Structure 1
Amino acid sequence: MIVENNVPLQPYNSFGIVARAQNLVRIASEADVAELRADPRWRDAPRFVLGGGSNIVLTGDVKPLVLKVEIKGLRLVEETPRAWIVEAGAGEIWHDAVQWMLEHGYPGLENLALIPGTVGGAPVQNIGAYGVELQDRFDSLDAIDLDTGRSFTLDAAQCAFGYRDSVFKHVRSGPNDFGLSGRALITRVRFRLPKPWKAVVGYLDLERKMGETGNFTPSATDVFDWVCAIRRAKLPDWRVLGNAGSFFKNPTVTPEQCADIIARDPKIVHYPMDDGSIKLAAGWLIDACGWKGKSVGNAGVYERQALVLVNRGGLENPVTGGEVMTLAKAIQTSVYERFGIRLEPEPVVV
């Protein structure tokens, strides 16, 4: 185990924000965590777990010890008449893992193609896109309690998945609280991919693809290709234009609240949910407030999708975390003043 000092973090966050880790250690196996805990210099040090850096906004240098998760591995664990159980190391690139499963005959995650980040970050955020959420395909995960060094396994119920939420995003506040933010390092994730496979194509953009192609019985590869094409047309490649993907969660309101908004703004994009609530399109709300294409310093709202904030300064004059959060707060204020709705950011602010 080597602890690196004064490490640039610009390559490790998809926004391309310039920041440094005072100390960083690369975790390639569970043994690396054990070795770290055995070292008296680092056993009780504050820690920050870093995966693909696709869902964070760095507002300055990171003083806690950065644990850069780089655990690899992809394998079929079990096959039953009802599902394939596939395991992936937490350090695997998410899109590459989805593609590997598809190529090896294990479909089910194709709707989540091209989402940036690593496998370990997927359950933290309960990622979702085009009609599928991670919890729909989740089996279990392995993690290490950084306070005790003990390994443990969680199933879906124990992960307490919600909309872009999980137990890993909550801080433990009492003896009966199971919040794992800052305590758990995810090492491996297992997916339950149902058999027989069935295409999930109820999302509007995918329905359009079926109409355009005349293909109304798409294969998993067809859905994968369509999702990739849709995302590339709508969203910027973070390697070209730094961003953290969708910056705000789509808010949910009661039917009464939605009816009140529709009375004032009939064109608002909204979707009924299974629990009776109504989900509103945050991108539409932001666009309606006139933010698409606007900037604060080198932080901007993407021209093609108002839900995405981007780094307009590139590598030469990169955006700062302060500029990103100033823009985000200005957007939140505008949306609240017009619609009475508080937008909640998706990324973790460090």
Structure 2
Amino acid sequence: MDETKNEKVFDGGDKENNINRKNINLEKEKKDTGSINNNNHNNNLSEISEDTVTDNDSYVTFLTQGNNIGSFYKRKNHKPLPPKLALSFSGAGFLGIYHFGVIHCLQAYAPTLVSKVQRYAGTSAGSIIASLLAISPEIFNKSMKLLIQMADETNTLAFGALTNGFSMHEKLVRAVDEVIPDNVSSLKDRLYISMTNAKTNQNILYSNFTTKEQLTAAICASCYIPGWSAHFNAPHPVVDGVSYIDGGFSNNLPVFDDMETITISPFSGGADIAPIDNSLLSSYLPMQITFGKQMYSASFANIQRMGYALFPPKGEALKMYYDLGFKDAFLYLYESGRLERPNGTKV
């Protein structure tokens, strides 16, 4: 494999504490203008378009500590693709932008994998991502700007989403209603949204979508955190006559028993595609906690991410999580042997 000349490292993780990717460098030509990985998303995240993420004229080379990685099919973690797959997206709050980076990488470098996805599951912000993908990749790509706009608006408020008189729930209802089409009947048994029963705290994976109103209510219920989404005394979202709150309280990362499920999360821990936190403390005292059926690394970086999920970082710091999602997905594809060379590129 020829190495690309005049290359620039694609590294979203070097800006975040406790992220150290020693095993992979993603590089690209500075002269390329059509790459999935071009400077458009490095300079202005809000300008990312479907053209940016579907034009694969250039190929991202990958090296391990400066050496060619060799064959895809000789690694211990190689996983042949099954006939059917599911994607599951964890709750993420404003770090849902990480999910966009992951999907854009999969679309560019694993089209066969993407074509085998039969189900989408999501919790909280992950339910929005899952819904958009199940509806249409085009709608998915266009919707990232809405997330960025909501983050920007929240950052203008004195106390973020907790500012008196502001309702994140009402804001989300309007945003979801704007992007969801009228006909959602095709989503039944393809899209699963995790919600928590407000009275029993039991989880439900809801998939009985027949109307746009049902889907909108389910998404907003899955994202509803009492006291943050709206004041504590506000009525909880209702789906089919039952009150629900954020699915992350009971199942933050759904997995299907009858189908391989690729799990995705911006929090380091047990997900298939997730950040890796390397620190001196974690080397000597590896600790993990489980909440909402999802395993998390007990790291300072995860604590920071949880804060960012509710109170978004500004500008470059938020953009970095898109880059990080792209890179983590690329690393997953490499390690699992599922990485594909984009059409039209040279060896």
- TM-score of the superposed pair, with normalisation by structure 2: 0.28
Q: Which of structures 1 and 2 has the larger relative contact order (alpha carbons within 8 angstroms, sep 6+)?
A: 2
Bigger proportion of residues as helix: 2
Bigger proportion of residues as strand: 1
Greater Rg over alpha carbons, structure? 1
